Structure 1
Amino acid sequence: MQKYYPYLITLSHMINDSCQSVLPALLPLFIYTYGLSLEQAGFLILANTALSSLLQPLLGYISDKLNQPRLIAAGTLLSACSTGMMGFVSSYESLLVCATLAGVGSSIFHPEGAKIMNRLGGGKKGKAMGTFAIGGSSGFAFGPLFAGAIAYTVGAHGLAAFTVAGIIISTVLFLLMPRIVAHAQTIDQAVATENPTVAAQPLKNYWKYFGILFIIILSQSVNFRVINAFIPVFWTHELGTSPEQGSFALTVFFSIGIFMTYIGGLLGDKYGPIKIIRLSLLIWLPSMFLLTQVPEFSVTIMMPLAYLILLMIGAAKAISYSPVIVLGQTYLAKSIGFASGITLGVSQTIGGIIAPVVGNLADTYSLPAAMMTLVPFLIVGLGASLLLKDPKKLQ
């Protein structure tokens, strides 16, 4: 049973992040239903991410002090229930409340989830975080497809399925968590026995290099959240597809991550996380620029090119997922919960603050022009990656 504990945490991660993916996938429906502008749609994403971003480091800090792993179950339950309620509300304001609560649930889940997976990984933390990341990538990949299939066929009430799944996994986690924690303690002791010299060294925090890493996280987050929010709209408004195809495009974007997040973890263990982070940005930067130019191509090659670029961006994001988390946890070895709150939680949410700005630019000019403003963030991120140092050389 113990060998399945990491997969149980990963399953919870999948359900949690599938809830986070519902709102962007259904933006075209909400825009139509409530007569929203793209700026208002952006504020829905902001409501889903802003409070979560502020809470994430705080909850990570509390996690380091109090150690409450059952928050993993509580966060998943809150996200799932809030997502289900989106199908039953009747106003834009109520939708904002549900979006906010779903974001809070995410902020509760991620610090403790990443912290326990770090411990369960033992000496192979990259592989462990890669496994954990598969859950998030699967949720972001299949959540939009599932939500779109429900909302555009049986109706928005079908979102209650997310609530049912959340209740089941949260109950199981709550009951098994004492056993999971005990198993993590056994792994900690085994690692200390195998590496007594490393275990004897006092833990240190390298805030300078964590700050540099945060700049990279911010550049990635801004691009990731805006793409996550507006890809369905980009497909329907700029490429002329149906709303269902827009949801499918979001699924394609995250599907590549199911495989590449795990590969990124393995590559991080083998070559070091810094090299993989740099490779990610080198792929992401030109791909983002090319995506904004897709509507200018002829109809015959426009769609294949759009999907190819989308896969490249998805792969670039995915391979850096685990290395960023592991590097952050290594730089802040004394504050793993706080580091997880930044590298895992905030990296998925803080970029949503930019979504209303991009939405306003899209209303004023065009969506491709608005998305072009994201490219400079990646340039800054790539430059910052050159300043990172291997934690082993800092000791």
Structure 2
Amino acid sequence: MEKTLQQKTRVQENKTVYQILFIIAACHLLNDSLQAVVPAMFPILERSMGLTFTQLGLIAFTINIISSVMQPLVGTFTDKYPLPYALPIGLTSSMFGMLGLALAPNFAWILISVVFIGFGSAVFHPEGSRVVYYAAGNKRGLAQSIFQVGGNSGQALAPVITALILVPLGQKGALWFTIIAGLAVIFLTYIAKWYRTQIQLTSERGASPRKNVQTKAVSKAIKAALILLIFIVFARSWYGAAIANFYAFYAMDSYQVTIAEAQIYIFVFLGMGALGTFIGGPLADRFGRKTVILLSLVAASPLTILLPFVGKSTAIILLGIIGLIVMTSFSVTVVYAQELVPDKIGTMSGLIVGLAFGMGALGSVALGTMIDMFGLTETMIFASLLPLLGLLSILLPSDKKVEEWYKRA
């Protein structure tokens, strides 16, 4: 009987549960579309409330820093004490945040509202990534790509949200997104029940944490690799923040387009970025994770440097290609970090994905301040150089070396 249970458990561990993967990816889309509403509202808030670029940067900083700081904390806690129903609770927080954002009368109220949205996102990402780990079976790279493309697709909806909802309806148009949050809560309640069952199965078969037998030298090398990975995520996140938060203003200023027309540029960048996120995992499986991480920034850098100097039609084409290339490393960096420290899935997911939000938050404040001080064009030229930091990827340990460490863990 015990042998039969072990065999059944082993089959379940290797089986990829696509139904759960697609549902959690859809919830990721809904969660990140809620978060995308905030920067999508920037042009509207700038005009209706007379906010400065620094204040807009502070709004982005608040929502992203709450999410980024709390993600690794949530991940560390739930690595020890999994909380399946934290998923719908987190999205309930986001729902209240959206309601507050739609009705906010001033700058301070907006900041409070985005704290609730940021908290919901902080809970969702590490716990969602753990659900993916349970559902992935022996296809972790593909599973992570499916999950992450949901989030990036949600971010890509920001320009569409702006053009179709926020421009005609204004700030109160955000009320519609409380419905989206409610829908996500329903889906995540179903996911939480499945997640709880997996935890119970793990407990019943008496699984224990893997013993770490790594040497001090290997531990130091892993820490150095994680620090290096942080710098790479830093470069990608700051460049993404420059485009997602401020390129609409650059397009309106340089090409004399309307708010709605400017959203096309952002949509192309983010939409192609979502595609890049999806294909990044399979590419990494074939050519190696380190190779994809390196090329995602280095190969895009000539195009990013050229972007501020081209016309409006060429800019759309370049933004699409840049988004496609840059975002191929998004899911790959998560899997790379998880394989570096396989006993801390939630922590690594919270660190890398949270770091992306956090670095984007710092970038939003810094870039917003630079725009106020030096101007849009000068700031965009500076941002175009950031992908060159991707050259640091050359120093990352090879996939073969990481695999050796993973087997020792």
Letter in 1 for 2:25: T
- 1:42 Cα shift? 1.2
Letter in 2 for 1:231: Y
Partner of 2:354: 345
- 1:341 Cα shift? 0.5
Question: 5 Å matches for 1:308-347?
Answer: 308-347=317-356
- 1:184 Cα shift? 7.7
Conserved? CA contact 1:75–1:106, under 8 Å: yes
Partner of 2:257: 241
Deviation per CA, 1:104-151: give whole Å up to 9, x if none.
221111111112212211111111011111211210112331243112
1:170 to 138, 163, 185: 185
Partner of 1:196: none
- 1:307 Cα shift? 0.5
C-alpha distance in 2, partners of 1:354/1:306?
Answer: 22
Unaligned runs of 5+ in 2: 1-16
Question: 5 Å matches for 1:294-309?
Answer: 294=310, 302-309=311-318
Conserved? CA contact 1:47–1:100, under 8 Å: yes
Question: 5 Å matches for 1:188-203?
Answer: 202=212
Partner of 1:27: 42
- 1:187 Cα shift? 10
TM-score, normalising length: structure 1: 0.89
Cα separation, partners in 2 of 1:79 and 1:349, compared to 1, 3 Å: farther
Partner of 2:303: 287
C-alpha distance in 1, partners of 2:121/2:191?
Answer: 20
Letter in 1 for 2:355: V
Unaligned runs of 5+ in 1: 193-198, 295-301
2:60 to 36, 45, 51: 45
Helix, strand or coil at the partner of 1:101: helix
C-alpha distance in 2, partners of 1:121/1:152?
Answer: 40
Deviation per CA, 1:42-90: give whole Å up to 9, x if none.
1111112122222121111112111113222222332233134322111
Partner of 2:13: none
Letter in 1 for 2:403: K
Structure 1 stretch displaced more, 212-221 or 381-390: 381-390
Higher Cα radius of gyration: 2
Letter in 1 for 2:24: I
Conserved? CA contact 2:64–2:358, under 8 Å: yes
Instruction: State the Cα RMSD in Å.
Output: 2.5
2:381 to 372, 376, 383: 372
Q: What percentage of residue pairs aligned between the two structures are identical?
A: 26
Cα separation, partners in 2 of 1:309 and 1:188, compared to 1, 3 Å: farther
Deviation per CA, 1:161-184: give whole Å up to 9, x if none.
211121122133224422244358
Question: 5 Å matches for 1:36-185?
Answer: 36-182=51-197
Please list every run of at least 4 consecutive aligned residues from structure 1 whose deviation after the TM superposition is greater than 6 angstroms: 184-190
C-alpha distance in 2, partners of 1:131/1:382?
Answer: 27
C-alpha distance in 2, partners of 1:104/1:238?
Answer: 36
- 1:9 Cα shift? 0.6
- 1:328 Cα shift? 0.8
- 1:235 Cα shift? 1.6
Partner of 1:277: 293
Letter in 2 for 1:179: W
Cα separation, partners in 2 of 1:178 and 1:305, compared to 1, 3 Å: same
Residue 392 of structure 1 pairs with residue 408 of structure 2: no
Letter in 1 for 2:144: M
Cα separation, partners in 2 of 1:234 and 1:182, compared to 1, 3 Å: same
Cα separation, partners in 2 of 1:251 and 1:36, compared to 1, 3 Å: same
Q: In the comparison of the two structures, how many residue pairs are matched? A: 380
- 1:310 Cα shift? 0.8
Structure 1 stretch displaced more, 271-280 or 173-182: 173-182
Letter in 2 for 1:306: A
Cα separation, partners in 2 of 1:323 and 1:3, compared to 1, 3 Å: closer
